[in-house]
Amino acid sequence: MKKTYFMKHFDQTVQFLMYSFLMEILSLMLQLLIFFMNKLILGAKISSLVNLVNQGISYLSIGSSLFKNIAMFLFILTGLIVMRELYFRLRYDSLKNLVLSIRGTTKLRRFLRHIEFLKDSEGKKSKEDIIISNYNKVIRKIVLDVDNEELLLYIKLPKEHQAQKMLKDMVSEIKEEISNAYPEYLISIFERQGNSLWLKGTRK
């Protein structure tokens, strides 16, 4: 089995969008700082201070423009990725299935996530928490893709044995959760390919 376009770009799209907003916020913060520095210049009487502030403003303006350009680039890149997926869904599938894929992926990640607790008095992670942390890293990369013909679930197996065991203990619950959420699909058993697990569902 191969990853679909949605599977390859889902997390990437979310990350690009988040970084785009972060860059925009940083740009706005620098603009706000420039605004207050301009106010400072108006009240300053020492020419050396005015020159120093003006120099600072010029550097901040460059930084603000840079962050804004990065934000714009990432936003456009996100838009192009989304447009490709929308085009495919509109022509060959349906937008409803895109929504189901996003919602299903989000719900599964939330359902399978384990809460980490710091048990060490010094704030260090216990061995159990390290295992849970490795498990959660994998859970954050689970992707479910639903279309008119089939349903595909992709899970990358963790490298650590204990984290892998944790995941395999959840296999039956994952299958049951998907079967209940998508009763119109006939769900097969999990199939391992290399370092990943796949679950396939065929429309009844």
Both tokens of residue 173?
A: 């619950």
Tens digit of pLDDT per residue, the chain (204 long)? Answer: 899 999 999 999 999 999 999 999 999 999 999 888 887 776 656 566 667 777 888 899 999 999 999 999 999 999 999 999 999 999 999 999 999 999 999 999 999 988 765 555 455 667 787 888 889 999 999 999 999 999 999 999 988 889 899 998 899 999 999 999 999 999 999 999 989 999 999 998
Residue 138's beta-bridge partner residues? none
Tell me if residue 197 falls in helix, strand or coil: strand
Q: pLDDT for 114-147, tens place per residue?
A: 876 555 545 566 778 788 888 999 999 999 999 9
Cβ neighbours, 10 Å, residue 53: 15
Contact between 146 and 97 (Cβ < 8 Å): yes
Q: What are phi and psi of 187, to 5 degrees?
A: -90, 130
pTM given for the model: 0.82
